Amino acid sequence: MAPAVASITERLHLFLDRLATPIGQMILVADSSGNLRVAFFADDEEPIRHQLSQQYGPNGFLLESARNPHGLTDAVASYFAGNLRIIDDLPVETGGTAFQREVWRALREIPCGTTTSYGKLAQRIGRPAAVRAVGLANGSNPVAVIVPCHRVIGSNGALTGYGGGIQRKRWLLNHERTPTLF
């Protein structure tokens, strides 16, 4: 489904910030209401702009740099510093299909420090035959870490693909298995 093209007056006003993490730079994008729209590990804005264009159309948003929009950058930094539960309640608003958003909501229900498989996630949303579709939705998640797609592994326990790379996925899972400092 193609995104609706917004007029200039309907453009979504978004704020971009960068965060140095132990596993690389993360770029965060928030809206004016304080919802995270995108969070990617990236060195430049191109993948962010591509994701936003897919979700909202090439003219559907206005992106400007901002420091710590709505305190979200500091909250994500706190997660990397050991406050693992802080991401649980961060507000997220995404584009995507109804099915993708259903999968992304289910991802947020996976407890920190645990993992699940694509099959179990498909069962959790009441669509046990949709394992491949769940995998595709998981891979299309625009809000890394906060919508914890890294917590989904293969049914055999193997680490499977991760948009940020397997090394980051391994780091995130190990980080979440350590006792919280807060």
List, by residue number, the catalytic residues: 149
Q: Are strands 116-117 and 61-65 parallel, antiparallel or unpaired?
A: unpaired
Q: Are 57 and 4 in contact (CB under 8 A)?
A: yes
| Beta carbons within 10 angstroms of residue 151's beta carbon | 21
- Residue whose pair of structure tokens reads 């809206």 in the numeric block: 31
Could you give the C-alpha distances from 85 to 161, 164, 175, in angstroms and in order?
A: 24, 21, 12
Rounded Cα distance, 38 and 92, in Å: 9
Q: Which residues contact 89 (CB under 8 A, 6 or more apart)?
A: none
Rounded Cα distance, 136 and 127, in Å: 14
